[in-house]
Amino acid sequence: MTTERGTSAQPLRLAVIDTDSGFLQVLDKRLERLGWEHRTLASAVPVETIVAMRLSALVVDLGILGPGAWDYLDRVCSELPGLGVVVCTGQSTVAQRVRALRLGADDWLAKPCHPEELIARVEAVVRRRRRSDAREERGAVAAGELQIRGDRFQAFVDGESVDLTRREFELIELLAGSEGRVLEREEIYQRVWGYAMARGDRSVDVFVRKLRQKLERSSPDWRYIHTHFGVGYRFAAEPVDGSEPARREAEAALAEPAEGPAPSTVRFAEIDGSETLAAELRALTS
């Protein structure tokens, strides 16, 4: 089965509540070519039925649901918080769109629209949902003085929040979660921006520079993002030379006991060249 483009290896399951035959005919053909599992519904179905479908996303035309449309949307979003919901309906007011989003819908698309745009919006909604689920599973990442909290979309230094934009946070979260691996610029762009990087695009470098500046202001004794020229970037918390963390590491290394035989024994044996002298020295020190 063809899997969801740019989202994950898991197949996408979609239900569409709509009666626009012309639009649905074009959409169905497109979804069939993609290989997505999908089902078209002519009216609202019980929430229990939607649960049983194990959907990734739901597309709904509120215009066909009548007076109970808002209550139905509220019920679906409240009882299925993990479900991506896209409203695709006729012309609307700002108040209507705001109401739907506040009830829990993830996106709103006005008809007439191109099926390809609807598909792209569904992909984006599911991608955001799965990223959020992955963040909750991973928990916090601690490195140096930095703590990265995916569940709160924030990074902290000594309890103080680092002022990061959403894109900057997604960037550091990706790098920190790669376990020291060097990520190529193209891979970073694909996973953070969500599509292929155009030739000559310097967005990754620009965002890394801004992110570094903010981290250096908040945690000046540590360096977190390292450049591999011509390749990409790597995340590792390393103390800055001359900083207090670097001095502590150096002192700890000097305090570690040396391994192997006592230096004096080896040294005397080598200088004298006498096995007897070496044996006597070992007996005295044992």
CATH code for position 170: 1.10.10.10
**pLDDT per residue over 197-235, tens digit each?**
788 889 999 999 999 999 999 999 999 999 999 899 999
User: Count of domains in the chain?
Assistant: 3
Q: Are strands 183-184 and 160-162 parallel, antiparallel or unpaired?
A: unpaired
Task: Tell me if 156 is assigned to some domain.
Answer: yes
Task: Tell me if 151 is assigned to some domain.
Answer: yes
- Distance, in Å, from the CA atom of 259 to the CA atom of 171, rounded to the nearest integer, reads 42
Whether the link from the prior residue into 112 is cis, omega within 30° of 0, is: yes
pTM greater than 0.95 (yes/no):
no
**pLDDT per residue over 95-138, tens digit each?**
999 999 988 888 999 888 888 999 988 988 888 777 666 655 56
Q: Are strands 84-89 and 107-110 parallel, antiparallel or unpaired?
A: parallel
List the domain range (segments joined by +) for residue 227.
139-239
